[in-house]
């Protein structure tokens, strides 16, 4: 018996030890159990964040997405969604900035949220002097059904601020959409404009001939995306629409703040002003 035990595989030896009462069974701690974060969107403290939905990863793999998902600029693949409110890492980044801007606001402020995220909308509406207007072409329950490339519902200089997050990569004429955002923003106003930015690309990747869902998953990372941006290309297009662009990174927020809220250290917030 001793001879056989001596040459048994390690896993079998451990099982034998448990059966003989030599050791107790313990669960190995996982990374998710080891890391707890604070969510600035819902205000939860010491909560777990989870990865993106498995179906999205499977679709990328199924269609052989050409570019590494680990080279997108603002994306924490490991700690993506808040388990309490489902806010993504980029939503948490917006909340950190918006809290600074809105908390010191002394007058009434009108804010347009394009393609609203429920948890973020709720967060924005906690500020008593902020009037939030939600808008989207397809989503249900928004205040206004609009096409971002033609927002004639709103007069010039109507909003003090806006959030346009991961919308422009869905729009064929993204520059027209940027010009509309510039038009409806007041002089001196600010906005958060965010898109998927891949750090492995040197030029914006777009091809109008790729119209099928499989081809878009492969080249653009999602079945309804029409492009992937580069940092330089995105900033240049925003500037062409008349915006001044700030790139706020960990030097602005602080590395410890980003880490505490589950935000990737290479994340960048693009803030535009008029």
d(CA 198, CA 211): 21
Q: 269: which strand partners?
A: 248
Predicted confidence (pLDDT) at residue 39 exceeds the cutoff of 50: yes
**What single DSSP character describes residue 24?**
-
CA distance 43 to 31: 22
- Is the pLDDT at 45 greater than 80? The verdict is yes
User: Does the pLDDT of residue 29 top 70, yes or no?
Assistant: no
Kindly provide the residue ranges of all beta strands, DSSP E only, lying in the chain, ordered along the sequence.
49-50, 81-82, 109-114, 130-136, 144-145, 159-165, 185-194, 205-206, 227-228, 244-248, 269-273
Residue 19 has pLDDT above 60, yes or no: no
**Average pLDDT over the chain, rounded to an integer:** 90
Instruction: Give phi and psi for 64, each to the nearest 5.
Output: 55, 60
Q: Reply yes or no on whether the pLDDT at 201 is more than 70.
A: yes
CA 62/CA 49 separation, integer angstroms: 25
* Cβ 90 vs Cβ 166: under 8 Å: yes
Backbone angles phi, psi at 131, to 5 degrees: -105, 115
Condensed to tens digits (0 to 9), the pLDDT of residues 125-140 reads 999 999 999 999 999 9
State residue 34's pLDDT score.
Answer: 61
């Amino acid at each position: 018996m001793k001879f056989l035990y001596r040459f048994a595989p390690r896993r079998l030896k451990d099982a034998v030890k448990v059966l003989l009462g030599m050791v107790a069974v313990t669960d190995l701690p996982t990374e998710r159990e080891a890391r707890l974060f604070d969510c600035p969107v819902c205000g939860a403290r010491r909560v777990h964040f989870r990865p993106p939905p498995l179906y999205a990863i499977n679709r990328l793999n199924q269609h052989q997405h050409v570019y590494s998902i680990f080279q997108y600029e603002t994306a924490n693949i490991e700690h993506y969604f808040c388990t309490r409110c489902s806010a993504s890492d980029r939503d948490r980044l917006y909340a950190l900035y918006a809290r600074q801007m809105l908390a010191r606001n002394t007058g009434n402020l009108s804010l347009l949220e394009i393609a609203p995220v429920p948890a973020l909308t709720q967060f924005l509406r906690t500020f008593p002097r902020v009037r939030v207007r939600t808008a989207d072409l397809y989503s249900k329950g928004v205040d206004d059904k609009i096409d971002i490339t033609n927002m004639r519902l709103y007069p010039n200089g109507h909003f003090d601020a806006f959030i346009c997050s991961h919308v422009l990569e869905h729009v064929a004429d993204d520059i027209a959409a940027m010009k509309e955002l510039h038009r409806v923003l007041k002089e001196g106003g600010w906005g958060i404009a965010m898109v998927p930015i891949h750090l492995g690309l040197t030029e914006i990747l777009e091809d109008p001939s790729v119209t099928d869902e499989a081809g878009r998953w492969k080249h653009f990372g999602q079945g309804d995306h029409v492009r992937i941006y580069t940092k330089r290309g995105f900033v240049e297009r925003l500037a062409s629409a008349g915006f001044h662009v700030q790139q706020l990174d960990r030097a602005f927020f602080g590395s410890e703040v980003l880490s505490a809220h589950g935000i990737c250290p290479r994340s960048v917030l693009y803030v535009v002003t008029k």
